[in-house]
Structure 1
Amino acid sequence: MKEIVAIVRINMMNKTKKALTEIGVDAFFAQEAFGRGKGLVSSHLLQGAKKGYEEAIELLGEKDRLYTKRMVTVVVPDEQVEDVVEALIAANKTGKPGDGKIFVCPVPEAVRVRTGEIGEKAIV
């Protein structure tokens, strides 16, 4: 089993939900998230700030804004991982900075509270 966590643009959530349900993934979580990518900070400003230049430090402070995103989490059997990742990319790729990130993490165990089912039985 794998947990797939995708950080996506807030306005892409409907496309993301549709893409997941079209490949048979109906159970997932979505929550509001805040963050920013490294692309929003100039490397020249970072270098200047590291050297202690006050102007660079002040300008860097203006780039501290966190952007609203959605974090989508789904746990699937190993054989579904590639389909889920491809669907997430297809639904969210614009080719511009801020398209998001996808993380795939191992899940050693899962338990359905209601029935006590363990492993993949708990997620399907």
Structure 2
Amino acid sequence: MKEIMAVIRMNMMNQTKSALTEAGVSAFFAVEALGRGKGLVPKDLLDGVKAGSEEAAALLGEKGRLYPKRVLTVVVPEDMVETVVKTIMKVNITGKPGDGKIFVMPVGDAVRVRTGEKGNEAIDEM
């Protein structure tokens, strides 16, 4: 099993949800978040902010702004990982900064609380 965490634009949530459902994934979590990537912020400016420089923090200004995002979490069997990643990318790619990130992480186990099923059976829809 793998956990796929995707950070996407807020306005892409409905399209992503529909595409995942069409791809056979209807169970996932979505939460609202605030964040930003490094974007076009110069590295020395970020280093100055990390070091506690008030001048660097002031210069960061709007480039340090946090933007609203959605974080999707999907747990799927290994054989679904490529499908889910490609589906998320297909819907969310614009070629512009802010398209998001996808992280794929191992999951040791899963347990369905209602039935006690474990492993892939716990994440299976049926």
**Corresponding position of 2:113:** 113
Counterparts of 1:37 and 1:83, CA distance in 2? 25
State the percentage of identical aligned residues.
67
Listed as ranges, the gaps of 5+ residues in structure 1 are none
**Corresponding position of 2:19:** 19
> Could you tell me the TM-score, scaled by structure 1's length?
0.89
**Corresponding position of 2:33:** 33
RMSD over aligned Cα atoms: 2.1
Counterparts of 1:21 and 1:13, CA distance in 2? 12
> Could you tell me the TM-score, scaled by structure 2's length?
0.88
**Corresponding position of 1:72:** 72
1:93 matched to 2:126? The reply is no
Listed as ranges, the gaps of 5+ residues in structure 2 are none
What one-letter code is carried by the residue in structure 1 that aligns with 2:92? Answer: N
Q: What is the CA distance between 1:88 and its match in structure 2?
A: 0.3
- Gap change, CA 1:112 and 1:50, over 3 Å in 2: closer
- Gap change, CA 1:119 and 1:45, over 3 Å in 2: same
